[in-house]
């Protein structure tokens, strides 16, 4: 058994050798093992500009760009309050839209950052798979959104009891969703749209009542969206493709509902009159027939309405004039009017 394995299996507080890594004139309060982990992670990700002559915890470029625009964050953050402020640990790595060409860091690298809470590699060119061993970490937020990551979601991720956000939209994930994910006690965001997942939504997901944001559109799931989502009473945002659940009428906190690409049979407009907080309603290509319900015109905060590529009839109810903020999307104009009204 290696030293690292011993460390991982040990339930005792982790004790590293704190022979602080020297950087020329500078030293860091970051343990050697974490510095070396960062060096390996840089190689794996293809991150070329991390300069190890500069303290990774310095909050200075190239480790931390305070001027980065939203969506392009480029920052390593440490918590330096350990052992009476004599020891730092890496707590967050944000590398968004950095054109990283490499692969997802394997377990041997990330687990050497035992205090890491946030790993955000949004919009890069990373491939590879999520290693099951990530399940041993105390992560709070994982984002691989917009990469080329494949394979299935390891069931071991269900061990991350601290996990609040899992964002893996726009990748090449496949396989079934592990039923064990239904055990995640704190999960608030589960964003999995635009992958190649198959199978059904596991029945265990009924327990995920902490969810605020759930998106699974544009996959290859079979079966319908289970009725139990009506028990996700904290849900604010929902994105699906698949038959609209009848239970959706209970989701009173939802302000963002996106349902697209239903290949089912014709259906009438879904009953969403209890979703009084709706700001965004997108029901694209859902084979919806019949008239638009009048209550839509009374939703006070609805500002984006996209109902393009349906088979609606009957025109826009007269009370829709009260929808002052509605943006009439091009798609709605083109398809709603020209294809189905004229």
Ligand X SMILES: *[C@@H]1O[C@H](CO)[C@@H](O)[C@H](O)[C@H]1NC(C)=O
Q: CB 231 → ligand X: shortest distance, Å? A: 4
Site track 283-322 with ligand X (rule: CB under 6 A), x = hit: -----------------xx---------------------
Question: At closest approach, how far in Å is the CB of 205 from ligand X?
Answer: 10
Give the whole-angstrom CA distance, residue 216 versus residue 238: 8
Please pick, from the candidates 84, 265, 318, 338, the single residue that binds ligand X as defined by CB under 6 A. Answer: 84
* CB of 172 vs ligand X, minimal distance in Å: 6
Shortest Å distance, C-beta 134 to ligand X: 8
**Could you say which of 36, 162, 172, 298 contacts ligand X (CB under 6 A)?**
172
The C-alpha atoms of residue 57 and residue 49 are separated, in whole angstroms, by 15
Residue among 172 and 210 whose Cβ is closer to ligand X: 172
d(CA 202, CA 58): 44
**Contact, 38 vs 90, CB < 8 A?**
yes
Binding of ligand X by 274 (CB under 6 A): no
Least distance to ligand X from the beta carbon of 27, Å?
13
Interacting residue with ligand X among 20, 59, 277, 340 (CB under 6 A): 277
Using the minimum distance from each CB to ligand X, give the nearer residue, 133 or 200: 133
Among 263, 313, 325, 334, binds ligand X (CB under 6 A): 263
Per CB under 6 A, the list member of 276, 287, 298, 303 interacting with ligand X is: 276
Region 42-61 residues binding ligand X, contact defined as CB under 6 A = 51, 53-54, 61
Residues 220-249 that bind ligand X (CB under 6 A): 220, 227-228, 230-231, 241
Q: How far is the CB of 51 from ligand X (least distance, A)?
A: 4
Q: Which of 106, 128, 182, 317 binds ligand X (CB under 6 A)?
A: 128
Q: Sign of torsion, CA 95 98 99 101?
A: negative
SS (H, E, C) the chain: CCHHHHHHHCCCCCCCCCCCCEECCEECCCCHHHHHHHHHHHHHHCCCCCCCCCCCCCCCCCCECCCCCCCCCEEEEEEEEHHHHCEEEEEEEEECCCCCCCECCCHHHHCCCCCCCEEECCCCCCECCCCHHHHHCCCCEEECCCCCCEECCCHHHHHCCCCCEEECCCCEEEECCCHHHHHCCCCCEEECCCCEEEECCCHHHHHCCCCCEEECCCCEECCCCCHHHHHCCCCCEEEECCCCCHHHHHCCCCCEEEEECCCCCCEECCCCCCCCCCCEEEEECCCEEECCCHHHHHCCCCCEEECCCCEECCCCCHHHHHCCCCEECHHHHHHHHHHHCC
**Total number of residues binding ligand X (CB under 6 A)?**
37
Which residue of 198, 204, 224, 249 would you call a contact of ligand X, by CB under 6 A?
Answer: 198
| Least distance (Å) between residue 110 CB and ligand X | 12
CB of 38 to ligand X, least distance (A): 14
Residues contributing to the site for ligand X (CB under 6 A): 51, 53-54, 61, 65, 67, 69, 79, 81, 84, 101, 103, 127-128, 132-133, 135-136, 156, 159, 172, 174, 196, 198, 206, 220, 227-228, 230-231, 241, 261, 263, 276-277, 300-301
């Amino acid at each position: 058994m290696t030293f690292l394995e011993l460390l991982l299996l040990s339930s005792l507080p982790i004790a590293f050798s704190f022979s602080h890594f020297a950087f020329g004139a500078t030293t860091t309060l970051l343990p050697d093992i974490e510095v070396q982990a960062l060096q390996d992670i840089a190689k794996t990700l293809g991150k070329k500009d991390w300069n190890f002559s500069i303290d990774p915890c310095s909050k200075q470029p190239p480790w931390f760009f305070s001027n980065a625009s939203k969506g392009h964050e480029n920052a390593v953050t440490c918590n330096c309050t350990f052992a009476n402020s004599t020891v730092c640990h890496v707590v967050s790595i944000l590398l968004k839209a950095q054109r990283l060409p490499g692969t997802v860091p394997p377990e041997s690298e990330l687990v050497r950052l035992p205090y890491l809470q946030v790993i955000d590699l949004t919009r890069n060119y990373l491939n590879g798979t999520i290693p099951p061993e990530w399940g041993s970490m105390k992560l709070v937020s994982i984002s691989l959104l917009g990469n080329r990551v494949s394979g299935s979601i390891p069931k071991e991720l269900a061990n991350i009891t601290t996990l609040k956000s899992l964002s893996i939209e726009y990748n090449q994930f496949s396989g079934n969703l592990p039923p064990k994910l239904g055990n995640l006690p704190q999960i608030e965001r589960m964003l999995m749209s635009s992958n190649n997942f198959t199978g059904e939504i596991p029945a265990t997901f009924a327990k995920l009542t902490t969810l605020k944001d759930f998106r699974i559109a544009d996959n290859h799931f079979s079966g319908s969206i289970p009725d139990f989502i009506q028990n996700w009473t904290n849900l604010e945002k929902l994105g699906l493709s698949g038959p609209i659940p009848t239970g959706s009428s209970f989701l009173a906190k939802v302000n963002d509902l996106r349902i697209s690409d239903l290949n089912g049979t014709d259906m009438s407009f879904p009953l969403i009159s209890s979703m009084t907080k709706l700001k965004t309603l997108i029901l694209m290509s859902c084979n919806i027939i019949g008239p638009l319900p009048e209550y839509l015109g009374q939703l006070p905060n609805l500002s984006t309405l996209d109902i393009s590529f349906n088979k609606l009839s009957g025109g826009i109810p007269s009370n829709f004039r009260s929808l002052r903020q509605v943006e009439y999307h091009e798609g709605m104009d083109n398809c709603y009017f020209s294809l189905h009204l004229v």
